[in-house]
Amino acid sequence: MTTVLKKPQRSARKPKGDGHMRRGEILEAAQRIFLAEGYQGATIRKIADEVGVSSTALYMHFKDKDEILLEISDGAITRLLEINSELSARPIDPVVRVRMMLDAYMGFALENPNAYQLVFCANTGLMSAEKTEATQDLGDRCFQKFIDVVNEIAASGRLRTGSAESAAQVLWASCHGLVSLIITKPSFNWADSGELRQVLLDGMLHGLVAD
């Protein structure tokens, strides 16, 4: 079944004097445009029309659409890094921490579906490595927090198979697969998302980690 994205509706042009719109308003509009039009099809003019301002006014906040996408990406990954940093530092069993981190990741995805699709599902491939280097580093730091906790499980001899790195990648990929399908296939008769997350985590961790 194919997901059909509705074409964004243009906002009414903001009257003169409302010029100080929040950057967040632009970022939210850009998320909708990027998903509906594709990154190549999206333009500053289309984003400005969605917000209800002139292109000139938008350029006062962002120099181009690359900068907009990078800010969306950095914002999402920074939030996940904050979550992983806080959960990984808790003085509790590493298996419990891993479960909490994965559940928080899925919760973030379902609460922020547009940003999640852009950061973890879309393949823009249009920006140079130089532009994306800082964002890539941020993502690596975020995932490393997760690997470090999985490594605690491996170091204690509780991993049934694989290494800390391969186990972490499989756990993340499995959670990504579930939330991506829920987000992109909303017409499917999904069970309760909370129940799906619990079943997935129970199945993965009971199979991967020895008591």
pLDDT digits (tens, 9 = 90+) for 56-104: 889 889 999 999 999 999 999 999 999 999 999 999 999 999 999 999 9
Average pLDDT over residues 200-210: 96
Residues 157-184, mean pLDDT to the nearest whole number: 97
pLDDT at site 24: 87
> pLDDT tens, 6-29?
444 544 445 444 444 468 899 999
Q: Is 101 helix (H, G, I), strand (E, B) or coil?
A: helix
The CATH number that domain 69-208 falls under is: 1.10.357.10
Share above pLDDT 90 across residues of the chain, in percent, rounded to a whole number: 73
CATH homologous superfamily for the domain 1-63: Homeodomain-like (1.10.10.60)
Q: Where do the structural domains in the chain lie, given as residue ranges?
A: 1-63, 69-208
Cβ density class 31-58: b for 16+ within 10 Å, e for less: bbbbbbbebeebebebbbbbbbbeeebb
* pLDDT band with cut points at 50, 70 and 90 for residue 38: confident
| Distances in whole angstroms, Cα of residue 80 to Cα of each of 5, 42, 140, 162 | 26, 26, 11, 25
Output the pTM of the full model: 0.85
CA proximity to 67, closest of 5, 24, 131:
131
